[in-house]
Amino acid sequence: MVNANDIKNGMTILFEDNIYVVLEFSHVKPGKGAAFVKAKLKNLRTGSIVEKTFNSSIKLERAMIQKVDMQYLYNSGESYNFMNMETYEQIEIPVSRLGDDAKFLKENLSVNITFYEGEVLGIILPDKIEYTITKTEPAVKGNTTNNATKEATIETGLVIKVPLFIEEGENVLVSTSDGKYVSRA
């Protein structure tokens, strides 16, 4: 158990039968009345973000989240298959549990899978991943606008914006936080 005054960013807690990670918090000490804590929480099961206010004397239960390094193997339609590289145990995660992270998965990619008491909560992708450009239009000569970009399709099927000098077959780094081109690989 942890006191509401002691919560920090990134801490995981159990509250109202849900698992939350603390995104932001602030201690509020009004002129009248008792102090309280305002927190912005992300539900790890649904992905929704809520704001909660806690009395400073309330006790919250910490949720012990386990992160396991696993490798993405393949997509079998409605689920994605991962393998623990130490035990070679394989698990299936439904598409609905992965959400937008599924569009960044490519074979043999190492990811962290988060568990709470055996329940799969989701995956944590690397910050940047290297992909091969599978389709893009050639650059138009004379197009010298500042920061000119064109659309390109990467090996997972995701369409991103890249600079005009990037061509088919090139390897690029893509940010998993916003799905944007970072640099050549």
Return the CATH number at 21: 2.30.30.30
Q: Is the pLDDT of residue 81 over 90?
A: yes
Q: Is the pLDDT of residue 69 over 90?
A: yes
Q: What is the pLDDT of residues 4-54, one digit of tens each?
A: 888 888 889 998 888 998 999 998 888 888 888 899 998 888 888 899 998
Q: How many domains does the chain have?
A: 3
CA distance 41 to 52: 7
CA distance 97 to 123: 9
Return the CATH number at 73: 2.40.50.140
Q: Same domain, yes or no, for 7 and 53? A: yes
Q: Same domain, yes or no, for 50 and 74? A: no
Q: What is the pLDDT of residues 20-33, one digit of tens each?
A: 989 999 988 888 88
Q: Same domain, yes or no, for 17 and 37? A: yes
Q: Same domain, yes or no, for 49 and 20? A: yes
- Structural domain containing residue 80: 66-124
- Across the chain, the runs of DSSP E, i.e. the strands, are 2-3, 12-15, 18-28, 36-43, 49-55, 59-62, 66-75, 79-84, 90-94, 110-116, 119-124, 128-136, 149-154, 159-163, 171-175, 181-184
- Section 145-173 average pLDDT: 86
Give the end of a domain, one of 62, 83, 111. Answer: 62
Q: Which pTM value belongs to this model?
A: 0.75
The torsion angles phi and psi of 5, rounded to 5 degrees, stand at: -65, -20
